[in-house]
Amino acid sequence: MLRPVEHAEFVVRTSEEIVRFAGLVANADLNAPVPSCPEWDLGKLTRHCGSVHRRVAHIITTRSLDRVASRDVELALPAQRTGLPAWLAAGASPLRAALAADPETRVWTWAPGGTVAWWARRMLHETTVHRADAQLGVGIEPEVDPSVATDGIEEFLTNLPAFALDNIKGLGAGDSLHFHATDEPGEWTIQLTGAGFTWAADHGKATVALRGRLTDLLLLCYGRRRPHDRDRFEVFGDLAVAERWFAATQL
């Protein structure tokens, strides 16, 4: 079993991922498309991620218990698009300082949690997946630390009801999915109930099973991979169940 990620590690790793992301795009063509985010180029991806970091830092430092709109946060965007990589990197220190607060501090979150700890976990996975997007944009195969990828899959499943439950309710009750990592420990079983779903980090028989590298399973959850990609995943059972699940969970 992989070691779980602790709060302080979420904070440090988030900062490191921001710096890594900024380094990837520092000398890249910011107009280059991002294959995993078809509506964005590298510049838009960089601006999005840096804006999220500043908004979250604002929520925490002001101890806001209400949703804060992006327009209410001072982003201090650079005058030129070429300044976006340095601007992204500059957001690492303020976000790290904010996330280093008492993890039980109450703040607004968009899914159940309502603490700084929730945001520390969310910011690591938000930044890691977008760093992977940037790597795909510059032609690099993404790799994610196994403990981070494992926690990222479980965080995704934990938060999923907050943004996709209505879509999932329309899926077939009684169907199930199983994800199995082939390069690291990691298995997850999802059971559709009609009213939603349950999940557990365990081995089990399912309507459809997908086996692949842990990083690819994380990116699959986030819609950066596709279940029918036979170069990356072995599929056992009814692929249509997996296709419906991923269509319902990508918003």
Q: Phi first, then psi: give them for residue 18, nearest 5 degrees.
A: -60, -45
3-state secondary structure of 204: coil
Nearest to 186 by CA among 207, 201, 197: 201
Cα–Cα distance between 7 and 172 in angstroms, integer? 37
Quick one: 222 exposed, middle or buried, by C-beta within 10 A (0-12, 13-18, 19+)? Answer: buried
Instruction: Give the pLDDT score at 2.
Output: 66
CB 219 within 8 A of CB 250: no
- SS3 string, 30-41, reads CCCECCCCCCCE
Strands 187-192 and 197-200: antiparallel
Cross-strand pairs, 198: 191
H or E element in which residue 15 lies: helix 7-25
Domain 152-249: CATH superfamily, name plus number: SCP2 sterol-binding domain (3.30.1050.10)
pLDDT band, residue 1 (cuts 50/70/90) = low
Contact 129, 222 (CB under 8 A): yes
Q: Is the distance from CB of 7 to CB of 120 less than 8 angstroms? A: yes
Contacts of 13 (CB under 8 A, 6+ apart): 5, 124, 145, 148
Q: Which helix (H) or strand (E) holds 17?
A: helix 7-25
pLDDT in tens, 224-245: 999 999 999 999 999 999 999 9
pLDDT tier, 251 (very low <50, low <70, confident <90, very high otherwise): low
Region 9-23: mean pLDDT is 98
pLDDT score for 124:
98
Q: Which contiguous run of DSSP H or E holds residue 16? A: helix 7-25
The CA dihedral of 200, 205, 206, 210, to the nearest 10 degrees, is 80
Rounded average pLDDT over 88-113: 98
Domain boundaries, the chain: 7-142, 152-249
pLDDT of the residue at 70: 84
User: What average pLDDT does the structure give for the chain?
Assistant: 96
- What are 249's two structure tokens? 């969970």
Give the span between the Cα atoms of 208 and 233, in whole angstroms.
Answer: 12
- The CATH number corresponding to 7-142 among 3.40.50, 1.10.10, 3.30.70, 1.20.120 equals 1.20.120
Segment 75-82 shows an average pLDDT of 96
